[in-house]
Amino acid sequence: MGGGPGVRVHQFGGGAPRRRPQQAARDPNAPPPSLSQTLQSLLPLLLLFIFPLLSGLFSGSSTPSGPSVKLDPIPPYTQQRVSSGFGIHYYVDPREVSDISTRKWKELDKRADANYYHKLSTECEVQQQRQQQMYQQAQGFFFTDQVKLQEARGYKMPSCQRLNDLGYRTR
């Protein structure tokens, strides 16, 4: 008894259920698989794990190379510089920059500007969230608290303002 395609056949009681034929058992006298056969069978697995590691090595690191820049004077970052982009003050370790080229100084200026932008963006997000909380607290169930609403409207967001001054739009 059997069914056609898409038809299930159930066996009630009786003998043991039929099983699919198994692959022929390995010949006990056959030699064990060679190293190349083993590697061939493991190749997809190796590629799955090794390839991402290798591509990560050759794609370059996400951390910048060269001297570090800080926005605050924290020893040993005591040599003050002014970036050519935003004109912000930043600090470097004098030992790290004793013999760098003009091109490297420009790269440091860009890195300092990027750090400054990231810092302002993060602070601006926090300030915007705080203002949203203030608006939500002003909204009552039956009426709006006008005093709290005015406080929310007048909430100062200096980091967002500075980003706007630099030409970046904020919400």
Classify residue 68: in a domain, yes or no.
no
pTM metric for this prediction: 0.59
Number of folded domains that form the chain = 1
Classify residue 74: in a domain, yes or no.
no
Classify residue 148: in a domain, yes or no.
yes
Determine the Cα–Cα distance for residues 28 and 56; give it in Å rounded to an integer.
44
Classify residue 58: in a domain, yes or no.
no
Give the range of the structural domain holding residue 142, as residue numbers without chain letter. 79-165
pLDDT in tens, the chain (171 residues): 555 676 676 666 666 666 666 555 566 677 787 887 887 777 776 667 676 766 666 665 555 567 999 999 999 999 999 999 999 999 999 999 988 999 999 999 999 999 999 999 999 999 999 999 999 999 988 899 999 999 999 999 999 999 999 998 877
Cβ distance 162 to 120 under 8 Å?
yes
Classify residue 132: in a domain, yes or no.
yes
Phi, psi of 35 (to 5 degrees): -60, -40
